[in-house]
Amino acid sequence: MPDDSEHVEHTGAITSLAFSPDGKTLATASIDYSIRLWDFATRQRLVTLQGHLSEVWVIAFSPDGQTLVSGGKDGAINLWPLHRAKNENALPGTWQPAAISKTAAPLRP
């Protein structure tokens, strides 16, 4: 997909292609366990989707183009929301892992 042949995107063979219903986005699935979304007109990668634990064998867009469905060699099915609404309740900034302990003192107002 990229114009530059030296610019490698997937590290394995592509197993499936799908166009969004509006024809603007191309999705590619690979044996490298990933999915790439491309702006078809500009040939630029929009995003890399990772989350499968095996080769991604099939992909398809929902009819409204809001979700991508992918299927892996291991039988896993993933749903990828493509247009996430901005979460107004989220606080900006850097996030760190959190944990809950039974021995922690209760918070006081």
Q: Domain boundaries in the chain?
A: 14-81
**17 and 57 Cβ atoms separated by less than 8 Å:** no
pLDDT tens digits, 89-106: 555 655 556 555 566 555
pLDDT tens digits, 31-69: 988 999 999 999 888 988 998 999 999 999 999 999 999
**pTM higher than 0.85, yes or no?**
no
């702006």: which residue's tokens?
A: 39
Exposed e or buried b for every residue in 9-24, given b needs 16+ CB within 10 A? ebeeeebbebebeeee
**35 and 75 Cβ atoms separated by less than 8 Å:** no
Q: pLDDT confidence of 14, banded at 50, 70, 90?
A: confident
Six-digit token string for 55: 């080769």
